[in-house]
Structure 1
Amino acid sequence: MPALYILIPVAIVLVGFAIWLFFWAVDSGQYDDLDGPAHSILFDDDDPMHKAGVSQAQNPDEPSDGEEPPRA
């Protein structure tokens, strides 16, 4: 029974810390883009078509090199 006097406050503090940590992660943007990292492994970094698509996405006003972007 005396162990409960120690374990219950410790458990409450741990739960409070876990809740604070969760809200900190949400506020700092840890869960903003859940799909981006999962899809980024599908593209080959050395693929020139992929790099052309990235540069075209970053600069949409510039004309492309005459190549059409890959269709999804």
Structure 2
Amino acid sequence: MNVLVFLIPISLLLGGLGLWAFFWSIKSRQFDDPQGDAERILTKDYDDHPRED
């Protein structure tokens, strides 16, 4: 039972840290263009062979 005294604050701290990281990533525009990435995968305009210079 004494271990809960340590585990509860640590879990709250880690949860808060994860929540802060999530909101920071949204604020710094990490998820700007998810639709463009999804469409880029499905396009037929890709290059099978890289350019040889």
Alignment of 1:9 onto 2:6: no
Structure 1 gap ranges (5+): 47-72
Partner of 1:23: 23
Structure 1: how far apart are the matches of 2:4 and 2:18? 21
- Computing the radius of gyration from Cα coordinates, the structure with the larger value is 1
Structure 2 gap ranges (5+): 48-53
The TM-score, its normalising length taken from structure 2, stands at 0.75
- Equivalent pairs: percent with the same residue? 46
The TM-score, its normalising length taken from structure 1, stands at 0.58
Structure 2: how far apart are the matches of 1:41 and 1:12? 39
Q: Deviations over 1:12-34 (max 9, x none)?
A: 11111011111111011112211
- Aligned length in residues: 46
